[in-house]
Amino acid sequence: VSPRPAERGDAEVAGSERILADDQEHVFRGWARQVGASSLAVVGAEGCWFWDHDGNRYLDFASQQVNMNLGHQHPRLVAAIREQAGRLCMVAPQFAVDVRGELARMIAERAPGDLDKVFFTNGGAEAVEHAVRMARLHTGRHKVLSCYRSYHGATAGALTLTGDPRRWPNEPGIPGVVHFFGPYPYRSPFHATDERQECERALAHLVEVVQLEGPGTVAAVLVETVVGTNGVLLPPDGYLAGLREICDQHGILLVCDEVMAGFGRVGEWFAVDAWGVTPDLIAFAKGVNSGYVPLGGVVVSRRVAGTFADRAYPGGLTYSGHPLACAAGVASIEVFEEDGVLDHVRRMGSEVVAPSLRAMADRHPSVGDVRGRGLMWALELVRDRGTREPLVPFNASGPAAEPMARVAAACRAEGVWPFVHMNRLHVVPPLVIREAELRRGLAAVDVALDVADSYYSGTP
């Protein structure tokens, strides 16, 4: 059981000022300014909750970074890591070791179609980098098409492939990346009026991009199966199948980034299962072992793996398939099976989250759109339902972003830690969340939406 402040002696736990001072002075934080950014001295966590040094408890409605699918300090995962650490901590990737092979087999058995080999990485960005490298080497082409509304990670290549503004400071990035518009029915780039039209026009747009780029130069189309931080954008029915068809027609590989959407987040092992499509490569991370030890990877089709049958794959990582990470992965898949986690996710999504968020949309004019599946949901907040003017401007920071900051603060004041990005409030709790906890978190969202409503200026 995780240490609560009250259960540990003073000697063991530094004061919160000390924790915060060390962090402020010496930890170089990503995606943040280095001076003056506020933080929280987290000292413990269990299940869907974490708490700070002063005893403030939060329901983790963000699953940290949408990665702790089995929640905090799951005893099975902790025990598996402990057992593995006692037995064998590290074996380099050129050797075979039981847990690494076992996890690769378990993933392959659950992956669609002929995806049956796994290249392990330490996280999502590396998975995307290697998926793209495999696609380029397999096809002998160099271009990769990815969506404007996407996030693929913060290494040089993954950040270039990222379509959202996080890419800008990294530009010009790597050569060969071309962005296109994916479907987004609520703010259709194609002026479509329904999902079917959005799907058709999005596919026609991609066909045109492929033609203009030159089909013989395109190695891969890379998409997030369900777009994550850019607003939980679900592919309309037929979109992924359409992508598969376009790719097949031109010898292009279809690469799905399931770093966030995979491993149960939408109620499936792999999100593509919900739409019955088999890509050539799937990038995964986060939920594979809930991040107890860093782990990610690429599930590779037999066909792509065959390219490297008698030719070395030019890439590798010291910690590829680290035994401690793999032990947590094996235990995690066992827990998913034994506890019926996928069924639970589907039920919580359709019976609790969907009706509850839709009812909130009826009560709160600031809710412009409700989207999601399983336990991956977003509310898109607006100042006016008619014009769909977002609650904060695109990519706002500082005072312009304050309305969303106040919405998030209102959640936290209710003891619920939300995931907020641009004008969206995401509902992405651990997949093991109990119904009562889920309802408690949703009640906090309801309260926070009063703050969003106070900025509403359209007709109700």
Maximum pairwise Cα distance, the chain: 67
Q: Is 329 in the site for ligand PMP (CB under 6 A)?
A: no
Cβ(143)–Cβ(219) below 8 Å: yes
> What track of x and - describes contact with ligand PMP for positions 100 through 139 (by CB under 6 A)?
-----------------------xxx--x-----------
Nearer to ligand PMP, 80 or 128 (CB): 128
* Closest separation in Å from C-beta 153 to ligand PMP: 3
Q: Which runs of E-coded beta strand occur in 248-353?
A: 253-257, 281-284, 296-301
* Closest separation in Å from C-beta 67 to ligand PMP: 8
Q: Is 260 in the site for ligand PMP (CB under 6 A)?
A: yes
Q: Which among 394, 313, 354, 370 has a CA at the least distance from the CA of 148?
A: 394
Q: Which among 431, 430, 446, 437 has a CA at the least distance from the CA of 358?
A: 446
Cβ(34)–Cβ(254) below 8 Å: no
Q: Residue 335 has which token pair?
A: 């827990």
Q: Is 424 in the site for ligand PMP (CB under 6 A)?
A: no
* Closest separation in Å from C-beta 403 to ligand PMP: 24
C-alpha pair distances (Å), 16 with each of 9, 13, 22, 26? 14, 9, 10, 15
* Closest separation in Å from C-beta 133 to ligand PMP: 15
> What is the spatial distance between Cα 285 and Cα 106, in angstroms, rounded to a whole number?
15
Residue 94, C-beta contacts closer than 8 angstroms, at least 6 positions apart? none
The radius of gyration of the chain's CA atoms, rounded to the nearest angstrom, is 22
For ligand PMP, the binding residues in 39-78 under the rule CB under 6 A are: 65
Q: Is 224 in the site for ligand PMP (CB under 6 A)?
A: yes
Cβ(156)–Cβ(173) below 8 Å: yes
3-state secondary structure of 226: coil
Nearer to ligand PMP, 123 or 323 (CB): 123
Residue 29, C-beta contacts closer than 8 angstroms, at least 6 positions apart? 37
Find the part of the chain contacting ligand PMP (CB under 6 A) among 22-30, 147-155, 169-177, 329-337. 147-155
* Closest separation in Å from C-beta 204 to ligand PMP: 25
* Closest separation in Å from C-beta 426 to ligand PMP: 11
Nearer to ligand PMP, 44 or 287 (CB): 287
Q: Is 376 in the site for ligand PMP (CB under 6 A)?
A: no
Q: Is 257 in the site for ligand PMP (CB under 6 A)?
A: yes
> What is the spatial distance between Cα 35 and Cα 44, in angstroms, rounded to a whole number?
25
Q: Is 285 in the site for ligand PMP (CB under 6 A)?
A: yes
Instruction: Select the residue interacting with ligand PMP from 228, 231, 267, 441 (CB under 6 A).
Output: 228
Nearer to ligand PMP, 376 or 444 (CB): 376
Using CB atoms, what's the residue nearest to ligand PMP?
A: 124
Q: Is 420 in the site for ligand PMP (CB under 6 A)?
A: no
* Closest separation in Å from C-beta 284 to ligand PMP: 9
* Element (DSSP H or E) covering residue 58: strand 57-60
> What is the spatial distance between Cα 142 and Cα 165, in angstroms, rounded to a whole number?
23
> What track of x and - describes contact with ligand PMP for positions 293 through 312 (by CB under 6 A)?
---x----------------
> What track of x and - describes contact with ligand PMP for positions 151 through 170 (by CB under 6 A)?
xxx-----------------
Nearer to ligand PMP, 164 or 280 (CB): 164
Residue 224, C-beta contacts closer than 8 angstroms, at least 6 positions apart? 147, 150, 151, 152, 230, 256, 257, 258, 259, 260, 261
Q: Is 414 in the site for ligand PMP (CB under 6 A)?
A: no
* Closest separation in Å from C-beta 405 to ligand PMP: 20
Nearer to ligand PMP, 44 or 429 (CB): 429
> What is the spatial distance between Cα 132 and Cα 256, in angstroms, rounded to a whole number?
11
Nearer to ligand PMP, 125 or 247 (CB): 125
Q: Which residues of 153-181 are buried (b: 16+ CB within 10 A; e: fewer)?
A: bbbebbbbbbbbebbeebeebbebbebbb
Residues that bind ligand PMP (CB under 6 A): 65, 123-125, 128, 151-153, 224, 228-229, 257, 259-260, 285, 296
